Chain A
Amino acid sequence: MTTTSSVPAYGRFGGFGGRYVPEALIPALEQLEEVWRKAVVDPEFVGELDRLHRTYTGRPSIITEVPRFAEHCGGARVILKREDLNHTGSHKINNVLGQALLTKRMGKTRVIAETGAGQHGVATATAAALLGLECVVYMGRKDTERQALNVARMRLLGATVVPVDNGSKTLKDAVNEAFRDWVANVATTHYVLGTVTGPHPFPEMVRDFHRIIGVEARQQVLDLVGRLPDAVLACVGGGSNAIGIFHRFIDDRSVRLIGFEAGGEGVASGKHAARFSAGIPGVLHGAFTYVMQDDDGQTVESHSVSAGLDYPSVGPEHAHLLESGRAEYRPVTDDEAMEAFSLLSRTEGILPAIESAHALAGAMKVGRELGRDAVLLVNLSGRGDKDVHTAAEWFGLIGDDGSPRLPDDDGAKGMGEQQ
Chain B
Amino acid sequence: MSVATIIEKCRADNRAALIGYLPVGFPSVEGSIAAMKVLVESGVDIVEIGVPYSDPVMDGPVIQDAAVRALAAGVHLTDIFTAAREVSAAGAGALVMTYWNPVLRYGVERFAADLAAAGGSGLITPDLIPDEGRDWIAAADAHDLDKVFLVAPSSTPERLEAVTAQCRGFVYATAVMGVTGARATVGEAADALVSRTREHTDLPVCVGVGVSTGDQAAEVGRYADGVIVGSALVRCLTEAQSEAQGLEALGALARELADGVRRSRS
Contacts and interface: CB of A to CB of B under 8 A. Distances in A.
A367 interface: no
A92 interface: no
A20 B156 contact: no
Interface stretch (A115-123, A229-237, A289-297): A289-297
Interface of A is mostly: loop
Contacts of A23: 129, 149-152, 155, 159, 163, 174
Interface string A347-369: 00000000000000000000000
B132 A20 contact: yes
B178 interface: yes
Nearest to B106: A297
B101 interface: yes
B58 A22 contact: yes
A184 B174 CA distance: 11
B90 interface: no
Contact of A1 (B101, B127, B138): B138
A285 B134 contact: no
Given A187-B177, A284-B55, A299-B54, A22 B105 contact: no
Interface string B148-179: 01111111100100110110000000100111
B162 A5 contact: yes
Nearest to B103: A297
Select the residue from A185, A291, A298 with max chain B CB neighbours within 10 A: A298
A180 B179 contact: yes
Interface in B56-75: 56-58, 60, 64, 68, 71
B77 interface: yes
B230 to A, nearest CB: 15
Interface in B36-82: 53-58, 60, 64, 68, 71, 76-77
B104 to A, nearest CB: 6
B174 A24 contact: yes
Contact of B100 (A20, A172, A299): A20
Interface string A1-34: 1111110101000000011111111111000000
Contact of A297 (B104, B131, B153, B159): B104
A25 B154 CA distance: 8
Nearest to B65: A166
Given A176-B55, A179-B57, A298 B102 contact: yes
A26 B155 contact: yes
B128 interface: yes
A10 B134 CA distance: 13
A4 B134 CA distance: 8
Contacts of B141: 2
B132 A282 contact: no
B137 interface: yes
A2 B138 contact: yes
A2 B132 CA distance: 12
A3 B134 contact: yes
A285 B55 contact: yes
B101 A22 contact: no
Contacts of A132: none
B130 interface: yes
A1 B152 CA distance: 26
A27 B163 CA distance: 13
B31 interface: no
Contacts of A299: 54-55, 101
A149 interface: no
Contacts of A298: 53-54, 71, 102
A26 B132 CA distance: 12
A88 to B, nearest CB: 28
A106 interface: no
Contact of B127 (A22, A186, A291, A293): A22
Contacts of B149: 23
Report which residue of B132, B141, B177 has the largest number of chain A beta carbons within 10 angstroms of its beta carbon. B132
Interface string A179-191: 1100111110000
A85 B78 CA distance: 52
B152 A297 contact: no
Contact of A186 (B60, B104, B177): B177
Interface in B95-149: 100-106, 126-132, 134, 137-138, 141, 149
A404 interface: no
A22 B103 contact: no
A293 B54 CA distance: 10
Q: Which of B127, B151, B166 has the most chain A CB atoms closer than 10 A to its own CB? A: B127
Closest 4 CB pairs of A and B: A297-B105, A24-B152, A297-B102, A184-B178
11 contacts: A2-B137, A2-B138, A5-B131, A23-B152, A23-B155, A23-B159, A27-B154, A283-B101, A285-B57, A296-B77, A297-B101
Interface of A: 1-6, 8, 10, 18-28, 166-167, 172, 176, 179-180, 183-187, 282-286, 291, 293, 295-299
